[in-house]
Amino acid sequence: MEYVLQMKNISKTFGEVAALHHVNFEVGTNEIVGLLGDNGAGKSTLVKIITGYHCPDPGGEIFWKQEKVSHLTVSKARDLGIEVVYQERALADLQSLWRNIFMGRELSNRLGVLDQRGMVRETRKLMSTAMGFTSSAVTPESTVGTFSGGERQGVAITRALYFEAELIILDEPTMGLSISETRKCLDFVDGIKQAGKSAIFIDHNIVHVYPVADRIVVLDRGTIAGQFQKGELKFDELIDRLTHLAQTGHLETNHPKAR
Amino acid sequence: MASANTTERPLSPAKERGKFARLLRKYALQIAIVFVALLLWAFFFWRSPLTWGSYAIYNSLMSTTPYFALMAIPLTLVVVAKEIDLSFGSIMAWGMAAFSVVFMALRDTNPQLGVYLGFLACLLAGLFAGWLNGFIVVKLGIPSLVTTIGTQFFWRGVVLVVTDGQGLGMTVVKETILYNLFVGRFLGVIPAQFLWTIAFGIIVWFFLNHHKFGAHVYLVGDNVDSARLMGVDVERTKIATFAVVGVAAAFAGFVVSEQVLFLWPTLGDGYLLNTLASVFLGGTSVFGGTGTVFGTFVAAFIIAIINPGIVAAGWTAYWTQLIYGFIIVVSVALQSILRKRLT
């Protein structure tokens, strides 16, 4: 399998606390990776290293499409095509839909004058295709504060897709969403797969991760406790093993951990 | 439905109405503020037709309203970016203090050149003071309310030290082109500063609504975390809004001093209340993220007619301050209610 992102021997210590030790993690091209783990397992530290927010401890290596990346920064990660879809925080509630879609990357001429028509047109196109908004009550001029949680998540994901992200990281996207909104959000994740992009889907809730992920990686106390390919394990078995992990700190895997 | 909207086909009557309703909702605040202005004007006219039926009152409104409208317009940017500036009154005087230093140095050799260079020094001083406000707020993380109360006292103090508390005659300005340019009468009737205020309003409106800078101002005021995550340069945007207010305040100080042909060290005192009232009455949210230049512009004239309106109606002018304060509280309270209903 071709990897879009490969991380080798990643450790991260904050003072005395080791958030990650010797983690090997990779995401294949057009693969949806579900990242599971309890609070404090190291999920967000791992994500922050991928987005260039944190620098890994010496010895760790990051490869982007088989090329080594040294000193990954936030802006460098964005240039490579790594996009994070943060929940709630990522939208400006009082602004129109098109201003949110193009937030921080407004279409403009060389003098900075906005190409408003162009942005509204693109937004309208995205609404009917990617976002699946069919209600005539929603226009590119609608303020996103009036949207439902699922719609908002859709806006955030569509924004990432529009800007040609190669790897989209979804940080607990279903948190606080209703059942139907969650369904809609998971459809967007399917959309990422259809578009040929890769994603890392982080969630507490295995029920959400299981159906959309190609592979599930379980993090526990800073190490990778195990991983499963889709179909390798039935849903119930996975739940049993995770419960066992929570109780004993040991995860049974079908394959040895060393790769 | 969505695809029908994308084509430029003529819309059906129902759609036309829907579009009209949407436009109405979008510009509701601006329409409301114009109605408030007209109602208030009609009321004052009814109370004193003699005053409001003559040109003199409009001439005076057009020449004095710009003194604070020139500052209220850029202050809108600062408030949209969820910050506040209380120091502009002192910056008016600080700009003129810089003017006086340059002017005095050249008074005996080339007074006209002194005026031109002094004007330049005035604008630069204002730019610096505004930038400093922004720098302290952004880089040191001090709330703008506290920062600008501090700089307000600081610049006033600088002015008193530099001018030694003395005023300065400005009659020599009359010999330069700047006099006619800024406070002359266009076509013999319209005060030039009024036209400058309109031009200034259009420029700031353009930058706020049709430029990347304005888009970032809205985003920073609406949700600073998401703006930062999405790559908006929050620091630079905020500093720029403060810097624009600084330049505008210095310019307003120059216009006031030119009009009265005298530089008072107390210049700028008494502009705080009506400038802030213009911004808040104009519909700019104290919570950041929304606001219009048009609203501020119209509101400035509403604020301006209150004082003469009260006096012409035969009531005591002591009411003025009470009403300004009332307007600030009511408009801010209304924003809070509107915000709760919208989100």
Distance from CA of A258 to the nearest CA of B (A): 36
Question: Once rounded to an integer, what is the mean pLDDT over residues B194-214?
Answer: 95
Q: What is the mean pLDDT of chain A?
A: 82
B80 lies in some domain: yes
State the nearest Cα–Cα gap between A64 and chain B, in angstroms: 21
CA dist., res. B199 & res. B253, Å (int): 18
Q: Name the helix (H) or strand (E) containing A12.
A: strand A3-14
Distance, in angstroms, between B141 CA and closest chain A CA?
Answer: 21
Angle between helices B293-312 and B28-47 (to 10 degrees): 10
Q: Which residues of A touch B285 (CB under 8 A)?
A: 94
pLDDT digits (tens, 9 = 90+) for B308-321: 998 888 888 888 88
Query: Which residues make beta-bridge pairs with A82?
Result: A167
Q: Is residue B13's pLDDT more than 70?
A: no
Chain B nearest CA to A257, separation (Å) = 35
Asked whether residue B255 is domain-assigned, the answer is yes
Residue of B nearest to A98 (CA): B215
Domain residue spans of chain A: 3-91+165-248
B5 and A124 within 8 Å at the Cβ level: the answer is yes
Does some domain include residue B321? no
Split into its structural domains, chain B has a count of 1
ipTM greater than 0.85: no
The candidate with the shortest Cα–Cα distance to A35, out of A177, A207, A204, A240, is: A204
Task: Give the residue from chain A lying closest to B237, CA to CA.
Answer: A104
Q: Does residue B333 fall inside a structural domain? A: no
Q: Are B290 and B331 in contact (CB under 8 A)?
A: no
Residue A98 has pLDDT above 50, yes or no: yes
From A102-111, B5-14, B228-237, the region with the lowest mean pLDDT? B5-14
The reported pTM is: 0.82
**Domain around B68:** 60-266
User: In chain A, what are the helix, strand and coil shares in percent, each to the nearest 5?
Assistant: 35, 25, 35
- Cα dist. A81→A60, A114, B138 in Å? 21, 24, 30
Mutate to test the interface with A, among B212, B237, B335 (most CBs of A within 10 A): B212
Q: Do A128 and B2 touch (CB under 8 A)?
A: yes
Contacts of B290 in chain A (CB under 8 A): 94
At residue A209 the predicted structure's pLDDT band, cuts being 50, 70 and 90, is confident
**DSSP character at residue A27:** E
Task: Please determine, looking at this structure, whether the domain spanning A3-91+165-248 carries the CATH number 3.40.640.10.
Answer: no
In a domain, B237, yes or no: yes
Cα–Cα distance, A36 to A225 (Å, whole number): 10
Task: State whether residue B264 sits within 8 Å of chain A by CB.
Answer: no
The three-state secondary structure class of A34 is strand
B342–A113: do the CB atoms touch at under 8 Å? Answer: no
Residues A145 and B343 sit within 8 Å (Cβ to Cβ): yes
Residues of chain A that touch chain B, judged by Cβ-Cβ distance less than 8 Å: 75, 78, 84, 86, 89-95, 99, 103-106, 108, 112-114, 116, 121, 124-125, 127-128, 133-136, 139, 141, 143, 145-146
- How many Å lie between the alpha carbon of A185 and the closest alpha carbon of chain B? 20
> What was the pLDDT predicted at B174?
84
CA pair distance A124, A129, nearest whole angstrom: 9
Q: Give the pLDDT score at A130.
A: 67
Which chain A residues have a beta carbon less than 8 Å from that of B286?
A: none
Centre a 10 Å sphere on the Cβ of residue A151 and count the other Cβ atoms it contains: 21
Nearest to B289 among A94, A108, A135 (CB): A94
B343 contacts on A by Cβ (under 8 Å) = 93-94, 145-146
Cα separation of A234 and A257, whole Å? 19
Instruction: Note whether residue B342 is domain-resident.
Output: no
Query: Between chain A and chain B, how many beta carbons pairs sit less than 8 Å apart?
Result: 92
From the list A86, A94, A114, which residue is nearest B212 (CB)?
A114
Tell me the C-alpha distance between A145 and A111, whole Å.
30
CA angle B269, B121, B188 (to 5 degrees): 70
pLDDT of B85-129, one tens digit each? 999 999 999 999 999 999 999 988 888 899 999 999 999 999 999
Whether residue B279 lies inside any domain: the answer is no
Residue of B nearest to A138 (CA): B2
Looking at residue A259, its pLDDT comes to 39
Pairing of strands A17-28, A3-14: antiparallel
Q: Answer whether residue A201 shows pLDDT above 60.
A: yes
The pLDDT tens digits for A182-196 are 787 788 788 888 888
Half-sphere exposure of A72 (CA within 13 A, CB side): 28
**Which residue in chain B is spatially nearest to A90 when comparing CA positions?**
B226
Which of the given ranges, A7-21, A156-170, A239-253, has the highest pLDDT on average? A7-21
